[in-house]
Amino acid sequence: MKVIGFSGSPRKDANTDRLVRQVLAGAREAGAETKFIRIADLKISGCTSCYHCKTHYTCSIKDDMQAIYAVIHGADACVIGSPVYMGQVSGQTKIFWDRLLPLFNADFSTRLKKHPALVMVFTQGQTDTGMFKPYMENTKQVFGFMGFKTREIIVAGAMMEKADVDKQKDLMARAKETGAGLAEAELTAKAFKTDK
């Protein structure tokens, strides 16, 4: 059972990293193998719309995304976190996101065989965590087309200093439980398959 966490925050070890890592910690404690990837540490450039991926199973741009495709195809679950920048995901996250186009066939059906579970994590400065809800809910549809099954969207508000999220004990507990839930659901499904 592999759970991969991505953080699209350029600020290292800040709220988005911490919250994504917390979900991973819950999954790990429940028996999953986890990996944490900071998108800002990857050398990746923006999609060029060449549509190479419509006739090939990968991207024409030979950068760090090549390894990421393999990681995602092997994942049972993913956690994708981003700070809210101007009401949307950070630029770093958006570049990563666009580069997921090779997960689609030419007819926009998914190439993902495992249909990984997905937890989305957003951190924002605003205290009202409902403020960007329509945008955040839309990610379910986008990632649904890609073949992911969104289980939960976690939103942390009032995140200005690097470690503000540590003060929100209930949210951190929920993030851990969400991670554990990811692992437990997958491990239970596997146990039932083995029983057959």
Ligand X SMILES: Cc1cc2nc3c(=O)[nH]c(=O)nc-3n(C[C@H](O)[C@H](O)[C@H](O)COP(=O)(O)O)c2cc1C
Write the burial class of residue 185 (CB in 10 Å: 0-12 exposed, 13-18 middle, 19+ buried).
Answer: middle
| Tokens of residue 175, six digits | 């993030």
Q: Is 29 left (phi over 0), alpha (psi -120 to 50) or beta?
A: alpha
For position 36 contacting ligand X by CB under 6 A, the verdict is no
Query: Distance between CA 39 and CA 17 in Å, rounded?
Result: 10
Return the number of the residue (33 or 128) whose C-beta is nearest ligand X.
128
The binder of ligand X chosen from 123, 129, 139, 178 (CB under 6 A)? 123
Based on the shown chain and the rule CB under 6 A, indicate whether residue 126 belongs to the binding site for ligand X. Answer: yes
Work out whether 92 is an interface residue with ligand X (CB under 6 A): no
Residue 139 binds ligand X, judged by CB under 6 A? no
**8 lines the binding site for ligand X (CB under 6 A):** no
Alpha carbon 38 to its chain centroid, in Å, reads 11
Query: CB-wise, 91 or 144, nearer to ligand X?
Result: 91
Place of tokens 């958006």: 94
125 forms part of the interface with ligand X (CB under 6 A): yes
Residues that bind ligand X (CB under 6 A): 9, 11, 14-16, 83-87, 123-126, 159-160, 162
